[in-house]
Chain A
Amino acid sequence: MTLAFDLLLALALLWSAWRTLAAPRLDRAIVLFIAFGLLMALAWARLAAPDIGLAEAAIGAGLTGALLLDAYGVLQRRRDRP
């Protein structure tokens, strides 16, 4: 059961990483990046490193994702009113 979960997690990590890089639209790539960060936090927790998992969820997925979304918003606004 746990092996199946780990395999699923590893596959989901690779898949979301690929989708993040290959997404044609920036906003979709950012949301996929946040999902990738959360899956990464789960993977750290499965590797018995909950400290790194917490840091990854808070900084990697949360704050970096918010910064990226904010930068995307600024880019959009600049494009709308050049």
Chain B
Amino acid sequence: MKRFAVIASALLFVGSLAAAMLELAPAAIDLRGPVAAHLAASGVSHPVTAVLLNYRGYDTLLEIAVLLLALLAILAVVGEPGAARPAPAHPVLQTLARLATPLMIVVAVYLLWAGAFRPGGAFQAGAVLAAAGVLLHLAGLLPGWQTPRLRLRLGLAGGFALFLAVAGGLLAQGTLLQYPPALAGGLILLIESGLTLSLALTLAGLFLFLSRDEVAP
């Protein structure tokens, strides 16, 4: 009886959600036109990248800050590191990981470069790089990370710092993160390169910092 009541109310909820979705009014502001109209001045020819890094650059800036904060929270929670030795893995898996890693690096660089004119960009490239790091760790080739030293700290915070420095340097333009059209393409590529590296380290860090004390019981 209880089960039927739950299923019925869930179905009712799904039905009303579907009805609400179908009756959704058109968006009050249609931004597709302005985005397309100003694409030439944004420095890139892919509208998604233009929105993420030019028109709404401060959203991306804050997203990176949130990711960095999440990693700092994990570092604070994990506590003292154990002796993290890479667990031994099957040699076939190790060889496969060794073969796949250079390919994944190439794919990441391609995604970063392609972001300017087709789907791709810093987030996807960073995620592929981070996946390569996780793969190497699972194959026992890359030990889990200890408390980060200066070089790793610089890498983790570098993308955000670079983004912030560009934003600070361009404050004279009037609006936050308003690029001069002549420099926009180069600045976006610079920021995306920094973000790719930092995002890769952050996302891989979510895995490698957490798994460092798994070998030591």
Q: Is the CB of B119 within 8 A of A51?
A: yes
Chain A interface helix/strand/loop/mixed: helix
Query: Interface stretch among A5-13, A22-30, A31-39, A57-65?
Result: A57-65
Q: Is the CB of B127 within 8 A of A63?
A: yes
Distance, CA A73 to CA B206, complexed state (A)? 16
Distance, CA A43 to CA B75, complexed state (A)? 35
Instruction: Please give me the residue from chain A that is nearest to B126 by CB atom.
Output: A58
Instruction: Please give me the residue from chain A that is nearest to B125 by CB atom.
Output: A58
Instruction: Please give me the residue from chain A that is nearest to B199 by CB atom.
Output: A59
Residues of A within 8 A of B120 (CB): 51, 54
Residues of A within 8 A of B128 (CB): 58
Known: A50-B119, A70-B211, A77-B214. A58 touches B48 (CB 8 A): no
Known: A51-B48, A63-B203, A66-B138. A58 touches B131 (CB 8 A): yes
B residues in contact (CB < 8 Å) with A: 48, 111, 119-121, 123-124, 127-128, 130-131, 134, 138, 203, 206-207, 210-211, 214, 217
Can you add 16 more A-B contacts, CB < 8 Å, to A53-B119, A70-B211?
A51-B121, A51-B124, A54-B124, A55-B124, A55-B127, A58-B123, A59-B203, A62-B127, A62-B131, A63-B127, A63-B130, A63-B131, A63-B134, A66-B207, A74-B211, A77-B214
